[in-house]
Amino acid sequence: MSADFDVVVVGAGVAGLAAARALAEAGARCLVLEAGDRLGGRAFTEFPATLGGAAFDHGASWLHAAERNPLVPIARAAGIPLASTQGDWTRQVMIDGRPATAEEKAAYAATWERFEAVARQRAAADPDTTVDDAVAELRGDPWLATVATWEASLIAAADPRDLSVKDWHLNELSGGNLRVGGGLGAMVARTLHPGAAELRLRTPVTRIAWQTRDGLTLAGEFGAVSARTAIVTVSTGVLCAGHIAFAPALPAAQLAALDGLPMGLLSKVALPAAGADRLGLPPGSSLYRRLDDPAERAVFFSLWSQGQAHAVGFFGGRAGWALAAEGADATAAFTREELRRLLGAAAMTAFGPETVVTRWGTDPHFLGAYAYAKPGCVAARAAMDTPLAGRLWFAGEAWCTDGLAGTVGGAYLSGWRAATGVARTLGLSVPAPPDCSGPAPSP
């Protein structure tokens, strides 16, 4: 009996969409099964009335490493405006309720340089360790906790005491960052639609039998479909939670890789600015306070950037998980208290009463923002490169080995790599990924 499809792609995030589109264009009979009700996965743009209809990216919001990011030429070809983030931010750092002096800012910058130099040196040595232990010689520096929070909890979505310093170094994002006109999630939904592939939303897969006579069987409440091959692109959070049962169970090497790549969390809270002019801060201000401990709860704010009349607060790592567990109302209350702590009573009247809170940590379709590597687990990112039984592939930002792990660019490359493997199995060929060797758009 022949299979229903040549390939089934599980998940319609960036990795799944990249793989499905490439395979469909190559002539494969391709089906995409998505548990949620939309495309894009963790690239999701909303236009909430709370923010006056302005675009708000709940997840990915920039195209990082623009010079090598495959989504840059895709956006450019679609005529979507891109703009450099260089010069977007003016840092407004507060110490004990007052702005940092020029001398204090200089000390902050010097600490950041020392942090990166020490962490990179330690990343080149064995054995692997946490970022926190890697920069142990800087302990006592009053700016260390603030820099470490930026580099780990905010950028990597995992606290410095949890994150592998080797993984931090391998995935440092050099080069330009680009803002996407109308939102990055909206761009993904517009440009990466799977084309000729069949797409079924609200269709969660809960079981995959990957050693059947004719290939694989994928099942859920929708019933079952058979395929010669499959690509699973769901998050490591979903896989670790056992939301998809595999028959037989995944081999020990794959289970170990999943354990080494847990989901980190970076969350956002957006607040409309009702009287921003009262605060005396310029557009694009990045506002936060100096921290005493990387484990301290804090919110780092971007104030009315890109000409939009709202502020966005960011918090990640363990603090992000704790606030997610407390719920959206508690998160919003904590965010407003942080603003009051930074700006005083003026903050209470400068922002509207409503908020938009991201929910990546509690959404059962994701259970986190993106994956990070524990110390000693850097090689886990490549553990899924070899398909199981020559027919079951895994793809997504967690499995990116191109230095773009945790990003939409990395997810795209991982999906494309899986598609090329499937195509070889099917006797097909997929086109190369978009050429991103050209210059990035100017501001």
Model confidence pLDDT, tens digit, residues 237-259:
999 999 999 999 999 999 999 99
Residue 289 shares a structural domain with residue 228: no
Q: What is the mean pLDDT of residues 43-55?
A: 94
Residue 193 shares a structural domain with residue 309: no
User: How confident is the prediction for the chain on average, in pLDDT?
Assistant: 92
Cα angle at 327 between 286 and 59, to 5 degrees?
Answer: 50
* Residue 362 counted as domain residue: no
Higher pLDDT, 439 or 46: 46
Of 68-72, 295-299, 331-335, where does mean pLDDT reach its minimum? Answer: 295-299
CATH code, 206 = 3.50.50.60
Give me the numbers of helices (H) and strands (E) for the chain, helices first please: 13, 22
pLDDT of residue 436: 60
What is the tally of structural domains in the chain? 2
pLDDT band (50, 70, 90) for residue 433: confident
Quick check: 106 pLDDT over 80? yes
pLDDT of residue 346: 79
* Residue 150 counted as domain residue: yes
Q: Look-up: residue for tokens 């080995």?
A: 401
Q: Look-up: residue for tokens 């069949």?
A: 198
Residue 187 shares a structural domain with residue 68: yes
Quick check: 87 pLDDT over 70? no
* Residue 363 counted as domain residue: no
65-86 residue pLDDT tens: 999 999 999 999 999 999 887 6
CATH code, 304 = 3.90.660.10
**Structural domain for 186, as ranges:** 1-81+176-262+370-443
Quick check: 208 pLDDT over 70? yes
Cα angle at 287 between 176 and 156, to 5 degrees?
Answer: 50
Residue 73 shares a structural domain with residue 93: no
Residue 130 shares a structural domain with residue 253: no
Residue 348 shares a structural domain with residue 387: no
Residue 257 shares a structural domain with residue 270: no
Q: How far is CA 295 from CA 298, 318, 344, in A?
A: 9, 7, 24
Please, what's the b/e burial string for 209-223 (b: 16 or more CB within 10 A of its CB; e: otherwise)? bbeeeebbbbbbeee
Q: How far is CA 379 from CA 376, 386, 397, in A?
A: 8, 13, 14
pLDDT > 70 in the chain, percent: 95
pLDDT band (50, 70, 90) for residue 174: confident
